């Protein structure tokens, strides 16, 4: 199976990505046990199918080491020259503290060594507390490290529009912000997307398939209790559904999505992902992969084979209009972490 050209996105002048990124939070341990050898073997299946872009973080358990092992096996099997086919986007999520050059450099060196690379394709920076302005110190040092060739592109995750503006106004070049974005959580549309579009910044979206809740598997199902939601993602996005409008409204949404999915001969998840891929400023959607446990490669590839029409959008809007405004309830992108 090969993905069509429309699956690729010019993320930066020197970097293209697959618009569906493979999310590696699912190997952290919060989504069940992952067997390393099986997981790494399965990374080849994703890559070979065209899903060449990985989203990971310093705190996703062994994720950075998995990239390192995958790259080693890849070089042995496919040749070193093909390593440039892999894009691996990590994050740095430091605990609050001084952001001196040695602290920042130490963290980046750790990621470089775990991933077995000399330069990080993308470093996405997270910060917990806006009152603590040392995030600007961290970003300054990260920019220096970028100039020194240790980071190819600098990005953020879960920053709100106000701070994104402050950061870009201070002359720091950010290529993307990774935020929660789905049919249920459309907060990026309020302020973030327009700001990004106007400043040449893109969005990487997570939570788009709601941990798997946005699928046929949950259509017509009674509201699941917490004990039935066995991954950290399912629990996280069930809370989001509760805030958004509750299980009954979510069932209405799933029913409408199923009709649209049947019309296009695709899946409910495909419809939810296609909708977000088509939103302004969105570069890609990250879909979590429980490597070696469950796999949706064939289904997710269908996202690139259809388009939503005006009638589809109208019926989706009919349901979404009944939901609560999460921007008012929670705040801008990432405010749920603060």
Ligand X SMILES: NC(=O)c1ccc[n+]([C@@H]2O[C@H](COP(=O)([O-])OP(=O)(O)OC[C@H]3O[C@@H](n4cnc5c(N)ncnc54)[C@H](OP(=O)(O)O)[C@@H]3O)[C@@H](O)[C@H]2O)c1
Pattern 55-74, binding to ligand X, x per CB under 6 A? Answer: x-------------------
Establish if 288 lies at the interface with ligand X (CB under 6 A).
Answer: yes
From CA 239, how far away is CA 236, in angstroms rounded? 5
From CA 166, how far away is CA 155, in angstroms rounded? 14
Q: Which is nearer to ligand X, 1 or 314 (CB)?
A: 1
- Give the CA radius of gyration of the chain: 19
Establish if 202 lies at the interface with ligand X (CB under 6 A).
Answer: no
**Binders of ligand X in range 210-269 (CB under 6 A):** 210-212, 215, 233, 267, 269
Q: Which is nearer to ligand X, 31 or 141 (CB)?
A: 31
**Binders of ligand X in range 17-56 (CB under 6 A):** 23-26, 55
129: left (phi over 0), alpha (psi -120 to 50) or beta: beta
- DSSP strand pairing (202-206 vs 176-180): parallel
**Taking the CA of residue 281 as centre, how many other CA atoms within 13 Å lie in the half-sphere pointing to its CB?**
24
The stretch near ligand X (CB under 6 A) out of 76-84, 136-144, 193-201, 207-215 is 207-215
Q: Is 295 helix (H, G, I), strand (E, B) or coil?
A: coil
Establish if 284 lies at the interface with ligand X (CB under 6 A).
Answer: no
Establish if 175 lies at the interface with ligand X (CB under 6 A).
Answer: no
Shortest CB 147 distance to ligand X, Å: 25
From CA 271, how far away is CA 66, in angstroms rounded? 30
From CA 269, how far away is CA 254, in angstroms rounded? 10
Establish if 146 lies at the interface with ligand X (CB under 6 A).
Answer: no
Shortest CB 220 distance to ligand X, Å: 15
The stretch near ligand X (CB under 6 A) out of 44-52, 128-136, 163-171, 289-297 is 289-297
From CA 208, how far away is CA 212, in angstroms rounded? 9
Q: Which is nearer to ligand X, 158 or 202 (CB)?
A: 158
Q: Which residue lies nearest ligand X, judged by its C-beta?
A: 23
Q: How far is CA 197 from CA 4, 89, 182, in A?
A: 25, 21, 18
Shortest CB 288 distance to ligand X, Å: 3
Helix (H) or strand (E) run with residue 139 in it = helix 134-147
Shortest CB 337 distance to ligand X, Å: 7
Helix (H) or strand (E) run with residue 72 in it = helix 63-78
Contact residues: ligand X, CB under 6 A: 23-26, 55, 157-158, 178, 206-212, 215, 233, 267, 269, 286-288, 290, 294, 296, 299-300
């Amino acid at each position: 199976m090969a993905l069509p050209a429309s699956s690729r996105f010019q993320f930066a002048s020197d970097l293209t990505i697959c618009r569906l990124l493979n999310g590696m939070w699912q190997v952290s341990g919060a989504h069940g046990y992952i067997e390393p050898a099986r997981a790494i073997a399965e990374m080849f299946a994703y890559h070979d199918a065209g899903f060449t872009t990985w989203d990971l973080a310093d705190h996703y358990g062994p994720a950075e080491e998995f990239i390192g092992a995958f790259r080693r096996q890849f070089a042995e099997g496919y040749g070193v020259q093909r390593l440039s086919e892999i894009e691996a986007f990590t994050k740095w999520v430091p605990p609050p503290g001084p952001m001196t050059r040695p602290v920042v450099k130490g963290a980046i060196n750790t990621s470089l060594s775990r991933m077995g690379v000399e330069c990080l394709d993308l470093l996405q920076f997270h910060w917990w507390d806006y009152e603590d302005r040392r995030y600007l110190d961290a970003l300054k040092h990260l920019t220096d490290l970028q100039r020194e060739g240790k980071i190819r592109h600098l990005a953020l995750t879960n920053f709100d529009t106000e701070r994104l503006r402050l950061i870009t106004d201070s002359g720091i070049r950010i290529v993307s912000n990774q935020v929660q974005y789905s049919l249920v959580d459309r907060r990026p549309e309020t302020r973030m997307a327009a700001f990004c579009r106007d400043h040449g910044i893109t969005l990487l979206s997570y939570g788009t398939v709601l941990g798997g809740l946005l699928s046929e598997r949950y259509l017509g199902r009674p509201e699941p209790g917490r004990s039935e939601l066995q991954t950290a993602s399912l629990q996280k996005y069930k809370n989001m559904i509760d805030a958004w409008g509750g299980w009954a409204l979510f069932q209405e949404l799933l029913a409408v999505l199923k009709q649209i999915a049947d019309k296009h001969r695709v899946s409910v998840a495909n419809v939810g992902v296609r909708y977000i891929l088509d939103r302004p400023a969105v570069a890609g959607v990250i879909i979590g992969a429980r490597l070696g446990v469950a796999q949706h490669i064939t289904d997710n590839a269908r996202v690139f084979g259809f388009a939503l029409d005006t009638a589809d959008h109208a019926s989706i809007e009919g349901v979404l209009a009944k939901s609560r405004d999460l921007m008012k309830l929670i705040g801008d992108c990432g405010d749920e972490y603060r």
